[in-house]
Structure formats: C-alpha cells, structure tokens
Amino acid sequence: MRFLRQSLIGLFLAALALGLLAYSVQTVFEALQSRMADGGHPAPARERVFAVSLRTARLQTVSPVLQAFGQIQSRRTLELRAAVGGRVVWLSPRFEEGGRVAAGEVLVRMDPADAQAALDRAESDLEDARAEIREAARALELARDELAAAEDQADLRARALKRQKDLRSRGVGTEAAVEVAELSLASARQAVLARRLALAQAEARVDKARTRLARARITLDAARRTLDDTTIRAAFDGRLSGVRVVEGRLVAPNEKLADLVDPDQLEVAFRVSTRQYVRLLGDDGRLIPAPVRVSLEAGGADLVAQGVISREGAAAGEGQSGRLIFARLENAPAFKPGDFVAVSVQEPPVENVARLPASALDARGTVLVIGEGDRLQALPVELVRRQGDDVLVRGEGLDGREVVIGRTPLLGPGIRVRPLRERSEAAVPETVPGALSAPGGARRDAMLELSDERRARLVAFVRGNARMPAEARARLLDQLAGARVPAQLVARIEARMGGQVMPDRASRPDDARSDETGGEG
C-alpha cells in the first residue's frame, strides 16, 4: 500500500509540472501574438547630415591657359649633299654626330683630280679661243685692205674706159680698145665683189671666235665651280646631325652626307582644335602673338622655355583636323629638334568668372551652394572654360556663395550638411601679366618652408639619382638649399620618391562624408 501511495503522488506531481509548463508556453505565445498585432511604437526619425567641403566662389578676371603637345624643330635646317661624285679624301674633325661647326668652315673635301683636269682643259680652250680671236681680227683687217685695193683698181678701170670712150668720140680711139676697157672694168668689179665676200667671211669668223671665247669662259667657270664643289663648307653656325659618310668613301652626286641644324633658332609646332584656334584670333581675324610656355620633363627638373606664337600652317593637312600653329622660342639652349614637349598658351583674359574644381559641376550645368539652415541649393551656371581639373564658370548670384567642391550622388537640393570650409589663404593674383599658370590652374610660384627632416630627405634623393644630369642636380640642390622652395619642385620630387605629402584634411576637396547624428546634428 505504501508503494502504491507514493506512485500516485509521483504521477500527480508530474502531471502538475506538465500542466504548468503548458500554461507558461501558452502565455508566452499569446503575448507574442499580441505584440505582433499591436506593431509597437516607432523610434523617433533622425535626419542624415553629410559633411561637405566648401569653397567661396569669387568672380574675377582670369587668363585661361590652353594645353597642347608639340614638337621642337629648327627654323633653319640645311641638307649637306655632294654636288659632285667622287672619293672623300678629308673630313673635318668636327664632322660627326652632334659636332658644332662655324659658318664657312671646311667640312668635307672630295678628290679634286678630275675637277682640276677639267679646269685645265677649260683654261686651254680659253687660250685657243683668244688666239682665234686675234687671228680672225688680223684676217678681217687684211680682207678690208684687199677690198679697198680692189675698189681702187675698179676706179682705175672705170677712168680708163671713160678715156677710151673720149678718144673714140674724137675719132682717135677704136671700138676694140673701148671693149677691152669695158671687159677690164667688169673684171675689176667682179674682184670687188669677191673681196666683199671675203670681208663678210672674215667678219663672221670674228663673230664665231667671240662666241667660242664666250663658251670657253662659261666652260671655265663651270670647271671652277665643279672644283669648288669638291669642298663642302658650313653655310651657318650649327650642329651636324645624321652624319652618313666617313673618310675614303666613294659618294654619288647629290648624295646626302649630313644635316646642318641651327640650334639657336628653334620653334615648336603644335596642333589645336578649331574651337581652340578661334579663341586665339584677334578682332581682325588674325592669330594673336600669344605668350607660349614650353616644358620638357628631364630627370626631376623640367626644361622650360618661353616663346610667342609666330604663324599658323597654310593648310589643315591631309587627314588632319584643327590647325597647326608655330611658336618662336627665345633662349632655349637645352631643347633639341625632335623633342616632344608640353605647350601652354596664355589666352586672352576672360572677365567675371569663378575658378572651381571640376567635381563641383554636374552634367546639367548646376552647382550646389549652401542656403539657409545649412541646406543645399542648386544654382545653374555657365561653363566658360575647362582648365585641367578646374572649370571657369559664371552665373547669376554665384559671386560670394559657398560652393560644394566634393560633389557625390548622395548630395542634392534640400540636403542638410555640415560645412567644412577651406582655410583662408593670402590673396594671390590669379594670373601675372606675361606669366603662364601651371596645368590644372595650380600656381607655379607657390613657395614652401621645409622642415630639416623633409629637406634632408629630398636632398638625399636628388644626390642619389645617378641618371640625373650633373647640371640639373646642381640646380635642384641650389633650390633646395633656399629658405623657401617652390611647391611644384617639392611635389615633383616627392612623387618620384613615392611619398607625396597629403594636404590638410580641412583643405582636401574629398567626397562628402556621412555623419550619423541626431536630428539637431
């Protein structure tokens, strides 16, 4: 009985536990259903605020810079060719690739034996022609004397005929004597005609002798020129390029030996689009003499030369577009014909424009400006010119407005932002008369004060660059030794070092950064 009682109590307790468990599960399930049916109370909404970089737009007068690429060439290049064929018997010690020669200097001598022989023959022919002239002159003088004698004899025969006729009229002379006198007069006249013919032949001989003398002189001059052509001289001061001959070589007539290039008269030829070409025209429709800046990167230091536009190509060129423009360079000793260079042309000034980063302008021609309550507004502007990574724009109400310079698709009108304004800088003129801006609108005259560690690192890199020319290395070290160093030079060297220093965060036009804050920011 005791066992049965304990078993019943155990079953009762187990059933009670299961019942309580089932009740608790049902209670939880009902609570969840009730919560899901009610939906709960939503959390208060928070407005998303973006941090953006701003720049104040200032309308001013800017001289845009047209960027192009061109090739250096010499305005005076002469092909040295062999006027006569023959063997090269002498070469100037400076007749080599890159050799510098002076005007009138003897460069090449050809074998003059054949030319000297031709000159000797021409001189001999000239002496023969002169002798023929003298002989023809003497023959002409004799022919004239013979003609005069024949005419005198004819006069005598005529007087004799007249006398015989007088005697016959008085009855003293005979008819036979008159006939004999007439025959003598006819013979004398025939002799006069023969002497006249001889005189004409003598005069013709003199003319032929003079012609022969003139031809002999022409042949002599040609022989002298041929002998002179065996010696090739420099027509002007310059350098030799493309030397193709050595001493002892047999060259053909008109064979090219080298090119003589004037390194002091250089120009750059570059091609621009038709739209860019129109911007370089003056009021009279002609090309303006705009200032030109030519640069060539050379081992850490740019070779720079200044110039001015001189002329334009006569034709567009077959298969080409735009216009070919030539600019005369001044004092460009480091440049060589054939260099591929970057060309910057200073265009006429443009008034009432603001320079902004290209990222501030969208495809619809609008910029975002700060309005009331730090909310963005869209302001339509006119794109005047692109300058590298910048744009020149103008628009109504743009002057003095703060413009978003790091625009992203997340930004738009009505969005509330947290402004990150650029640090104020000293006012620097946008352009200097007669000077050109750097590509992209950066000022090339910006100077930096370097720390000792940074200066030492730059100096060590320049000294360790074995590929850099000695002159360029010395020039860079002199610039780095100064109290203030050009910012462009520092940026260029640090870019090659692989450790370019980033600007301050507040002045960097980065993309808009989201900042999860409360509704009041």
Domains 76-111+231-260 and 114-229 share a fold: no
Dihedral of the alpha carbons of 84, 87, 92, 98, in degrees to the nearest 10 = 80
483 phi, psi to nearest 5 deg: -65, -35
Q: Where are the beta strands (DSSP E) in 422-475?
A: 447-448
Q: Give tens-digit pLDDT for 124-170.
A: 999 999 999 999 999 999 988 988 988 888 888 888 888 888 888 88
Tell me the per-residue pLDDT of 364-408, one tens digit each, with 9 for 90 and over.
889 999 988 889 999 999 999 888 889 999 998 898 899 998 888
Q: How far apart are CA 161 and CA 184, in angstroms?
A: 8
pLDDT tens digits, one per residue of 476-509:
888 888 878 887 788 788 777 754 443 333 333 3
Find the helix or strand (DSSP H, E) in which 299 lies: none
Burial annotation 93-103 (CB, 10 A radius, 16+ → b, else e): eebeeebebee
Query: Mean of the pLDDT values across residues 76-100?
Result: 91
Is the domain spanning 114-229 CATH 1.10.287.620? The answer is yes
Domain locations in the chain? 76-111+231-260, 114-229, 265-346
Q: Which CATH architecture has domain 76-111+231-260?
A: Beta Barrel (2.40)
Which residues, other chains included, contact 14 with Cβ-Cβ below 8 Å and sequence gap of 6+? none
Q: What whole-number distance in Å separates Cα of residue 473 and Cα of residue 461?
A: 10
What is the mean predicted confidence (pLDDT) over 341-353? Answer: 91
Burial of 266 (0-12, 13-18, 19+ CB in 10 A): buried
Sign of CA dihedral 276, 281, 287, 292: negative
CA dist., res. 289 & res. 287, Å (int): 7
pLDDT higher than 70, residue 89 = yes
pLDDT cut 70: percent of the chain above it: 88
Angle at 48 between CA 44 and CA 53, to 5 degrees: 160
Per-residue pLDDT tens for 180-229?
Answer: 888 888 888 888 899 889 889 989 999 999 999 999 999 999 999 999 99
Report how far apart, in Å, the C-alpha atoms of 10 and of each of 3, 15, 22, 276, 509 are.
11, 9, 19, 103, 79
Handedness of CA 356, 362, 364, 368 (dihedral sign): negative
Q: What is the rounded distance in angstroms from the CA atom of residue 88 to the CA atom of residue 110?
A: 5
